[in-house]
């Protein structure tokens, strides 16, 4: 089954304790992205990657890191989480055609992160 | 002007009703358009792409008006299972994607 797998689904952590949220896709998609979703704000892009070793900042990258060492994996790293990073996080992937995103995204099931 | 504006609703409609949502965008370079459906606390799922000529998928019809820079989604014969949040999404060319904040729909028996 074609899918994007995120782990963990739920995470409660304390301020300053480094954490990693994993994301893996089995569709051979070039493009992968991380979003956070907060009430009333919709989905905001954190980082995206157009291919292996190619990443770029989205709209809200502060406090986050990513890496893309393999095509299928795109982990999100919070080096020193803070309470304002409490949110619902989604990983997504997409095909790239003609140098652009012409197709829709496939999203992971989401990670609900609480930082206390 | 915001990059995308979407009426948050909620829209409360009875079963069998027809309901329509609009979504306006400010970037005239926007190239591809989509509607997504998101159920509470779950991931967004692609409902349909939106083409210039308009397109239909069962009870759902999507339209694009480039001149006025908006897209629309029409749902006919609403079902209880249509209750969800509907997100409009634009790709502005390259790798930039803009999401609307969503319109909430409640379909009641």
pLDDT tens track for B59-104? 999 999 999 999 999 999 999 999 999 999 988 766 778 899 999 9
Is a pLDDT exceeding 70 seen at residue A107?
yes
**pLDDT > 70 fraction of chain B, expressed in percent and rounded:** 97
Considering chain A, what is the average pLDDT of its residues? Answer: 93
What tens digit of pLDDT does each residue of A38-94 get? 987 889 999 999 899 999 999 899 999 999 999 999 999 999 999 999 999 999 999
Question: Is B91 in contact with A112 (Cβ distance < 8 A)?
Answer: no
Within an 8 Å CB–CB cutoff, is residue A70 touching chain B? no
Question: Is B45 in contact with A107 (Cβ distance < 8 A)?
Answer: yes
Q: From the CA of A3, how many Å to the nearest CA of chain B?
A: 12
Q: From the CA of B25, how many Å to the nearest CA of chain A?
A: 15
Within an 8 Å CB–CB cutoff, is residue B37 touching chain A? no
Other CB atoms within 10 A of residue A69 CB: 9
Residue B73 makes CB contacts below 8 A (sequence gap 6+) with B20, B21, B23, B35, B47, B60, B61, B62, B86, B88
Residue A48 makes CB contacts below 8 A (sequence gap 6+) with A31, A32, A33, A34, A55, A56, A58, B95
Select the more confidently predicted residue: A98 or A104: A104
pLDDT given for residue B95 in this prediction: 73
Question: Is B41 in contact with A104 (Cβ distance < 8 A)?
Answer: no
Please list every residue in chain B whose beta carbon sits closer than 8 Å to the beta carbon of residue A103. Answer: 49
B42, B87, B95: residue with CB nearest A101: B95
B56 — pLDDT class (breaks 50, 70, 90)? very high
Q: Are A57 and A76 in contact (CB under 8 A)?
A: no
CA B49 to CA A4: how far, in whole Å? 20
Q: From the CA of B15, how many Å to the nearest CA of chain A?
A: 27
From residue A105, give the alpha-carbon distance in Å to each of A34, A62, B47: 11, 23, 11
Q: From the CA of A37, how many Å to the nearest CA of chain B?
A: 9
Within an 8 Å CB–CB cutoff, is residue B35 touching chain A? no
Which residue of chain A is at minimal alpha-carbon distance from B102? A42
Q: Kindly state the average pLDDT of the residues B13-26.
A: 95
Is a pLDDT exceeding 80 seen at residue B1?
no
Question: Which of helix, strand or coil describes residue B80?
Answer: helix
Q: Are B50 and B33 in contact (CB under 8 A)?
A: yes
């Amino acid at each position: 089954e074609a899918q994007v797998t995120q782990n963990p689904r739920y995470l409660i952590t304390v301020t300053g304790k480094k954490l990693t949220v994993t994301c893996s896709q089995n569709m051979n998609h070039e493009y992968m992205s991380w979003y956070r979703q907060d009430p009333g704000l919709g989905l905001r892009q954190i980082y995206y990657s157009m291919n292996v070793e190619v990443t770029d900042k989205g709209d809200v990258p502060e406090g986050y890191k990513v890496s893309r060492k393999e095509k299928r994996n795109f982990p999100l790293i919070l080096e020193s989480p803070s309470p304002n990073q409490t949110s619902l996080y989604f990983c997504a992937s997409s095909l790239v055609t003609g140098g652009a995103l012409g197709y829709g995204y496939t999203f992971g099931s989401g990670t609900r992160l609480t930082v206390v | 002007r915001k990059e995308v504006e979407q009426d948050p609703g909620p829209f409360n409609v009875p079963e069998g009703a027809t309901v329509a949502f609009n979504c306006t965008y400010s970037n005239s370079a926007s190239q591809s358009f989509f509607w997504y459906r998101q159920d509470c606390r779950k991931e967004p799922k692609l409902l349909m792409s939106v083409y210039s000529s308009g397109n239909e998928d069962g009870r759902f019809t999507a339209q694009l008006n480039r001149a006025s820079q908006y897209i629309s989604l029409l749902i006919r014969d609403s079902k209880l299972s249509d209750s969800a949040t509907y997100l409009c999404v634009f790709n502005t060319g390259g790798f930039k994607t803009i999401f609307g904040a969503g319109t909430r729909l409640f379909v009641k028996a």
